[in-house]
Structure 1
Amino acid sequence: MKAKYQSTATAQSIVKILILLAVIIVYSWAWEGLKVDLKSLKDSGGYIADFVSRLFPPDLTILDVAWEKLLETIQMSLWGTTIGAIISLPIAVLSANNLVPWWVRWVANFIQNAVRSIPSIILGLLFVAATGLGAPAGTLALGIYTVGYLGKFYQTAIESVDRYSLEALQVSGASWFQIAQYGVMPQVLPLLLGYTLYMFEYNIRAASVLGVVGAGGIGFELVNYIRGFEYNKATTMMLVLLVVVTGIDIVSSQLRRSLEQK
């Protein structure tokens, strides 16, 4: 018995060593692929310090512009998240393995994966080309971008419901829509709301990035200031964005916790 235990422990130790070696090999391969020049990084430290020094002190004379553009960013995120949530829900239902046959799931999952494979900035470029510069392009880009991730979050929540409650409804003769309405939605609604709040919070950051391609919001002004070497004004924009995003993060986290406790 003792020999068997020692043999099992030895086998487990070998497995752990092999896993550790595999991790080291993978990270070494990734590091080699980066082709990092440590000397170049060291020399660039002075340029980075010089750039950072130009960011301060912030120019507070543009606070009114910063708040105006920040409100536009929040509006973009609000509508983009709402549009994405409305589209995501039916796609998530059709992706759930406890509600629909495999061939329906395959199509719905393919749609999610296709959307998720397109970066938000590329979507921004597409909608800027279609609708022109400004917030409408950014809102549509955020809406489609949201589908790729919120749809997956919703799907995971739906697949985690108690299967016995669904079976009970099936036995009682409930239709597919009744099962989805009375068996699934009451269980997953707090999770869905929590995921949606998280996505809204994330989309505010994403909306600021979309300004790089002219899709409106605070990012548009931020990029213009940087391109014009007005770094002090760019700092003001970033600080305003930081304060608001931090505040929204705190409120959103509290709301998510309250939903999870219900």
Structure 2
Amino acid sequence: MKLLDQIRSYTSSRYHVWLIRGIAIVVLGWAYIWSLKGLKVNPELIKTSLPYMADFLMRLWPPDLSILDVAIKALIETVQMSLWGTTIGAILSIPLALLSARNLSPLWLRWLASLLQNAVRSVPSIILGLFFVAATGLGAPAGTLALGIYTIGYLAKFYQEAIEAVDRRSLEALQVSRASWWQIAQYGILPQVLPLCLGYTLYMFEYNIRAASVLGVVGAGGIGFELVSYIRGFEYNKATTMMLVLLVVVTSIDAISSQLRNKFKAD
């Protein structure tokens, strides 16, 4: 009798699992169909656009290597923007992440800090670029400040998630010994989250190099400014050189940062 009850319980639980999975698949399928209808995709329009797309790609080749020195100079400026922007954003993200963590801060303070995080993330980088161009003028300073503020919205969230995932027992031990809030953060949290946060920061630095190229649209310096200038002037071969140089550097930085992130995880 006991065995029969166990079989019934097991069968019932499996039935509920399959039912939930079935409902989830149906809802997900409906969401994709609904999204596709909202996009109003016209296959015939895509088909007729293929010759124009091919013509655009043909204009990009071959690259004009005569501007290689200009591309390298612009790329160096982009890396400098990304380095300082990421550093500024990382430094400002630390207190915001500490204030947002549920295992460190009271509810009202977490709510305010999370609201600030969401407010920063909701502003597109292009808008930040326009704002700082208006404040400091065209060039790299505007792009650096825009990247710094843009970085806060994401690194603060990443840092917060890392802080909330720390071992609670170490924090409870410090709380029992009546350690202060700053001592808990310094000795209980920082040693545990530092490798993970360094990995997040490297990833953000890599991402900011690509984001800096977008900020060039509004004149915020870097390789993006040169790239947009060439495209607007219909000098597609020179634009190709810029994109190829950016591709080589982004790929190289991605490989280096991946190795460093794996080293941090191993440590």
Q: Normalising by the residue count of structure 1, what TM-score does the alignment of the two structures yield?
A: 0.97
Q: What amino acid sits opposite 2:259 in the alignment? A: Q
Query: What are structure 2's unaligned runs of at least 5 residues?
Result: none
Aligned position for 1:151: 156
- Separation in structure 1 between the aligned mates of residue 186 and residue 9 of structure 2, nearest angstrom: 54
Pick from 49, 55, 74: which aligns with 1:50?
55
Aligned position for 2:187: 182
- Separation in structure 1 between the aligned mates of residue 248 and residue 56 of structure 2, nearest angstrom: 22
Paired residue secondary structure (2:220): coil
Q: What amino acid sits opposite 1:167 in the alignment? A: E
Task: Work out whether 1:62 is the aligned partner of 2:61.
Answer: no
Task: Work out whether 1:232 is the aligned partner of 2:237.
Answer: yes
Task: Work out whether 1:207 is the aligned partner of 2:212.
Answer: yes
- Separation in structure 2 between the aligned mates of residue 136 and residue 55 of structure 1, nearest angstrom: 30
Q: What amino acid sits opposite 1:200 in the alignment? A: F
Q: Normalising by the residue count of structure 2, what TM-score does the alignment of the two structures yield?
A: 0.95
Q: What amino acid sits opposite 1:73 in the alignment? A: T
Residues 161 and 10 of structure 1, relative CA distance in 2, 3 Å threshold: closer
Task: Work out whether 1:87 is the aligned partner of 2:97.
Answer: no
Aligned position for 1:198: 203
Aligned position for 1:24: 29
- Separation in structure 2 between the aligned mates of residue 230 and residue 139 of structure 1, nearest angstrom: 27
- Separation in structure 2 between the aligned mates of residue 11 and residue 256 of structure 1, nearest angstrom: 41
- Separation in structure 1 between the aligned mates of residue 206 and residue 11 of structure 2, nearest angstrom: 52
- Separation in structure 2 between the aligned mates of residue 144 and residue 10 of structure 1, nearest angstrom: 49
Query: What are structure 1's unaligned runs of at least 5 residues?
Result: none
Measure how far apart 1:177 and its partner are: 1.0
Measure how far apart 1:224 and its partner are: 0.5
Pick from 100, 105, 112: which aligns with 1:107?
112
Measure how far apart 1:13 and its partner are: 3.3
- Separation in structure 2 between the aligned mates of residue 42 and residue 200 of structure 1, nearest angstrom: 39
Residues 162 and 6 of structure 1, relative CA distance in 2, 3 Å threshold: closer
Alpha-carbon deviations, 1:76-128, whole Å to 9, x = none?
Answer: 00000010011000000000001111111111111100000001111101111
Aligned position for 1:257: 262
Q: What amino acid sits opposite 1:116 in the alignment? A: R
Once superposed, what is the RMSD of the aligned Cα atoms?
Answer: 1.2
Residues 178 and 66 of structure 1, relative CA distance in 2, 3 Å threshold: same
Q: What amino acid sits opposite 1:194 in the alignment? A: G
Aligned position for 2:135: 130
Paired residue secondary structure (1:57): coil
- Separation in structure 2 between the aligned mates of residue 149 and residue 19 of structure 1, nearest angstrom: 29
Farther off after superposition, 4-13 or 156-165? 4-13
Aligned identity (percent) is: 69
Q: What amino acid sits opposite 2:164 in the alignment? A: E
- Separation in structure 1 between the aligned mates of residue 44 and residue 260 of structure 2, nearest angstrom: 47
